[in-house]
Structure 1
Amino acid sequence: MADVKEESKRYPLLEFEYDKGPYEKTLELSNQPGFVSYTSGNPDNYMHEGFGFSRGDDKKVLEHAVYLLKKKKSKRATLSPSELRELCDDFRHYCYCVKYADGEKAVLQDLMEAVLFYGGDKVVYEEVIDWHKDTEERPAPSTESIFDFDKLYIKMGDRFLFLENNVFAAMKFYGLAALEWSTAPLDPILCGNAGEYAVDFDEEYETLIGLAQGNPYNESYSTTLLSHYNDLLKLEYPSQMPTTLSDFTDKVRGILNHNGKSPSFHQRIALITMIVLMRKYLVPEMAQLSEDDCSSLRQSEIIEKSRFLKGTDFDALAVSAQKIGTETLSYRDYLYLAQTAHLSNLILLELKAEGTEKKIAYYTSSEVFSYMLPVKCTGEKKDRLGKLTVMHLSYMNDPNEGQTLLQTVYGDQYDTGKKDRKSLNVPYVFVKCFTPRVDYLPMWEMYGDHAKGCCLIIDWETTKNLSCAVEPTLYHVCYLRKNAKNMVLRGDNEKLAQNYKEIERQLRQLRQITKRLNKANRPYFDSLLGKVLYLFKDSSYSYEQELRVIYQTKDNILHTDGDKPWLFVQTPFPLQLDEVILGPKFPDVSTRVPYLQEQLDLMCEKTGTEKPRITLSEIDYR
């Protein structure tokens, strides 16, 4: 018994579970709305020109929906994809009737619940959001034509959270319950129905969404669970699992014991914090498991828990877990992949430069600099004021970007063989490069428009503090010697003097994994390295002592102007510039500085940042 208890403490995340059965009963949805009993079904197409403005259109929509629903009376019933599309169309059309014609709000709520039962949550969400936007842009509608079905939205959010552990989807529906609807003055006759659908969920939602985003709990009301959660959350990524994690999971399990009622606010908090910590600590726990002689006993738990990594930087572990036991992916290979993810996280921690580099330099041309000044940030581009553009990886000057680390850890196994056709697919990776080298001739020549540009000195610490932003994170670049006895030399990595031996050890572990891993699983291995791939360069570039921020995203991508647009993203905050150094060969200094100063003053006034100094390079260079 003692061994079992010790095992539980060693792998608390893999052990964690709670009984979902009672929640399934409490959070049950109905697929048989009340109107089914008094509405005849009709399979005919009811759409016509001017639909929604003819009397009886709402009834025709319901007749078609009833035709579909009457065929599926069982609580386990499912609709075919074509039937679900038809039901979702009926739902959209009835929404239109409620907005503009004779549809009834109570009937719409029942129809919405049936659509949610059959998996039409995306359509429901989009329809509610679209109507809410419309009500903000036009005269306020009556209370009878707004979709404030808060109790149903919360129930759907609870289903996603407690039955599927899908925090992202849960937050979307909790967010619907927190929407504020602007309505016309209440008709005294209808006042009695005004509060029938809505509940006060705003403050609760603010707390839940903050926790779901990985923020600490900062409310005045607290418990020992939340205090424990904050302590676990603020720990750096661990090389060893925190021993107190098992105590936390025990407390959460106790809170989630079902009491026969709808989930409470406290239960929602407990489960969300559990999922956040699952994403933080599951990878190191699986890596720890990989060294356990009895690790094969955990295969089912691994497959089940890996889904918590879906949508994270280690999505490949969630995807590949479903293939464990197939011809190409053995359980042992999966654990090698978990080790890879763990080592990647540890290397990121070693390379993290936040808090160590307070001021950093960015060399660029005067033209590129102008794109963050007021002259270029007007109209649709006004949100770019004072912010840096972070360009796609493809535009970097090093042809081996993203390959240096792979070449090192694969060694002779690195695939350089020619293929019939070269793949041109590129990752969605965006990189911005900085250096601690201020007013440094090689940097002026290489990146400062051959010394005719400028060097922006960024107060990175103040910038991050003003914005309260966690991302993007600033990292050191590590320089490698591919054919030397030691890959990481202190002389090449002066900013990593305390860490270079540890990085060397971690790279050797990755090299051992590549030798043992089935070649078919190399795409997973490469994917799990993530940002680390773009933080290693050949030692020939070591004079730069480069720092980087990296985005891996498909969201909020922007394009440069012109016939051949380039891709970029932006920092989410304006920069605090400490100094703008003009290059040794900056043209027409005396005539251009007044305009530059005026633009900088205006930029700082609008962004709320301090005005930087404008100086001239001390380098004598022709």
Structure 2
Amino acid sequence: MELKMGFNQFNNIVEKEGLDSAIKYKNEYIPKRLFQYNALLDKRYNNYIEKNEKRLESLKENKIYVTNYRCFNDPFEFEMLSVDMDKLQKENYDIKEIDKFLNAFKNKILVACFTTINDNMPMWAHYANNHKGYCVEYEINNTEKIYPVFYEQFRNNNSKELTNMVRELYDYYSNLNNHKEEFYKIFSYFYLSLCCKNKFWEYENEYRMLYKTDEIEVNTEKVIKIEDEDMNVKSIYIGYKCEDDYVNELINISKKIKCNVYKMDFNKYGVDYKLISKQI
């Protein structure tokens, strides 16, 4: 079941029925199983063996990477909202401080990206190093931190609403006021904007886990335990061009963490350009 609504529709539910209702509605439509593509690098990359072993070790230990948005392949991540800085400046807000606040907020949110598709050729090429990597199927037992990516043609340019939102957030964190319902609504609006992308990316059918960190120094990525997020590995899908040594290592990992393992293949005699999976 897929969530059939856009960013503004979600926020309409927040406005009319409250944040709890919107989150509950969202949770009902989050898939119970999601996939994540992982690259295994080759000699074109510096320290590729060390990086590959580090990633495989995290899989073996039932851990997952959450990443800063600046590491993503889309340079326009987290840029859904267009804020009228001129208006804020006329109200004597310090624009540099607001920019600093917005960037700090974005940097506190780390992301793990998933999809509902495990046989998408472009995604195997882009995110699994040209089919040399692997794809992990996760069972999602708690959907609270999982959000659908909303694909929009245009950025939200409701400057009045967005400017009010930034003002409220900035004032809240500056003055440390008590939480109010209106604050939660505004916060959710900003939070959900982190899950908006241009419609160009719609083929990925992406879902995101948003992980808030309170660390002062935010690294580009962090490894967390999947059991803490109420997730577990169901299956590993090995890429069509994965090297034999890594194939064997992934099979051994599947035995250790007790999950299914498949090898991706191409049906040479079929009429479609389609990947198929064969259980090992």
TM-score range, shorter chain: 0.5 to 0.7
**Cα gap change, 1:612/1:414 in structure 2, threshold over 3 Å: closer, same or farther?**
farther
Distance 1:346 1:400 in 2: 30
> Are 1:476 and 1:546, in contact at CA under 8 Å, matched by a contact in 2?
yes
Q: Identify the match of residue 357 of structure 1 among 25, 31, 34.
A: 31
**CA positional deviation for 1:428:** 0.8
Aligned AA (1:459): E
> Are 1:429 and 1:552, in contact at CA under 8 Å, matched by a contact in 2?
yes
**Cα gap change, 1:619/1:472 in structure 2, threshold over 3 Å: closer, same or farther?**
farther
**1:457 — aligned with what?**
137
Matches within 5 A, 1:116-515: 239-240=16-17, 284=18, 342=19, 348-349=23-24, 352-353=26-27, 356-366=30-40, 367=52, 369-374=55-60, 385-404=61-80, 406-407=81-82, 410=83, 413=84, 423=100, 425=104, 427-460=107-140, 464=141, 470=142, 472-482=144-154, 513-514=161-162
Helix, strand or coil at the partner of 1:581: strand
Aligned AA (1:587): E
Distance 1:532 1:518 in 2: 13
**CA positional deviation for 1:554:** 0.8
**CA positional deviation for 1:451:** 1.9
Distance 1:518 1:475 in 2: 21
Count of residues in Structure 1 that have an aligned counterpart in Structure 2: 219
Distance 1:448 1:594 in 2: 17
Q: Which protein has the bigger helix share?
A: 1
**1:587 — aligned with what?**
243
CA RMSD of aligned residues (A): 4.0
> Are 1:439 and 1:619, in contact at CA under 8 Å, matched by a contact in 2?
no
Deviation beyond 6 Å, 4+ runs, structure 1: 419-422
**Cα gap change, 1:431/1:449 in structure 2, threshold over 3 Å: closer, same or farther?**
same
**1:146 — aligned with what?**
none
> Are 1:558 and 1:569, in contact at CA under 8 Å, matched by a contact in 2?
no
**Cα gap change, 1:478/1:577 in structure 2, threshold over 3 Å: closer, same or farther?**
same
> Are 1:579 and 1:615, in contact at CA under 8 Å, matched by a contact in 2?
no
**Cα gap change, 1:400/1:577 in structure 2, threshold over 3 Å: closer, same or farther?**
same
Distance 1:443 1:619 in 2: 18
**CA positional deviation for 1:520:** 4.9
Distance 2:30 2:165 in 1: 39
Helix, strand or coil at the partner of 1:596: helix
Distance 2:189 2:240 in 1: 40
**1:613 — aligned with what?**
261
**CA positional deviation for 1:587:** 2.3
> Are 1:581 and 1:617, in contact at CA under 8 Å, matched by a contact in 2?
no
> Are 1:373 and 1:600, in contact at CA under 8 Å, matched by a contact in 2?
no
Where structure 1 has 5 or more consecutive residues not aligned to the other structure, the ranges are: 1-235, 241-283, 285-341, 375-384, 465-469, 484-506, 560-564, 605-609
Aligned AA (1:394): R
**Cα gap change, 1:536/1:521 in structure 2, threshold over 3 Å: closer, same or farther?**
same
**1:166 — aligned with what?**
none
Higher relative contact order (CA 8 A, sep 6+): 2
> Are 2:30 and 2:148, in contact at CA under 8 Å, matched by a contact in 1?
no
**CA positional deviation for 1:514:** 3.9
**1:21 — aligned with what?**
none
TM-score of the pair, normalised by structure 1:
0.30
Q: After superposition, what is the alpha-carbon deviation per residue over 1:508-535, rounded to whole angstroms, capped at 9, x for unaligned?
A: 9x766347x4985574587553421211
> Are 1:439 and 1:455, in contact at CA under 8 Å, matched by a contact in 2?
no
> Are 1:432 and 1:548, in contact at CA under 8 Å, matched by a contact in 2?
yes
Say whether residues 1:554 and 2:198 are aligned partners.
no
Distance 1:558 1:414 in 2: 27
**CA positional deviation for 1:578:** 2.8
**Cα gap change, 1:420/1:476 in structure 2, threshold over 3 Å: closer, same or farther?**
closer
> Are 1:428 and 1:553, in contact at CA under 8 Å, matched by a contact in 2?
yes
**CA positional deviation for 1:395:** 1.9
Helix, strand or coil at the partner of 2:35: strand
Helix, strand or coil at the partner of 1:542: helix
**CA positional deviation for 1:584:** 2.6
Q: Identify the match of residue 543 of structure 1 among 192, 199, 203.
A: 203
**Cα gap change, 1:387/1:399 in structure 2, threshold over 3 Å: closer, same or farther?**
same
**Cα gap change, 1:346/1:473 in structure 2, threshold over 3 Å: closer, same or farther?**
same
**CA positional deviation for 1:567:** 3.7
Distance 1:534 1:448 in 2: 24
Pick the structure with greater CA Rg.
Answer: 1
Helix, strand or coil at the partner of 2:227: coil
Distance 1:518 1:364 in 2: 36
> Are 1:430 and 1:569, in contact at CA under 8 Å, matched by a contact in 2?
no
Helix, strand or coil at the partner of 1:549: strand
**CA positional deviation for 1:239:** 4.2
Helix, strand or coil at the partner of 1:573: helix
Distance 2:165 2:207 in 1: 34
**2:227 — aligned with what?**
573
Q: Which protein has the bigger strand share?
A: 2
Aligned AA (1:361): F
**Cα gap change, 1:420/1:346 in structure 2, threshold over 3 Å: closer, same or farther?**
same
Helix, strand or coil at the partner of 2:123: helix
**2:47 — aligned with what?**
none
Q: After superposition, what is the alpha-carbon deviation per residue over 1:148-195, rounded to whole angstroms, capped at 9, x for unaligned?
A: xxxxxxxxxxxxxxxxxxxxxxxxxxxxxxxxxxxxxxxxxxxxxxxx
**CA positional deviation for 1:369:** 4.0
Aligned AA (1:534): L
**CA positional deviation for 1:397:** 2.2
Aligned sequence identity (%)? 20
Helix, strand or coil at the partner of 2:111: strand
> Are 1:364 and 1:453, in contact at CA under 8 Å, matched by a contact in 2?
yes
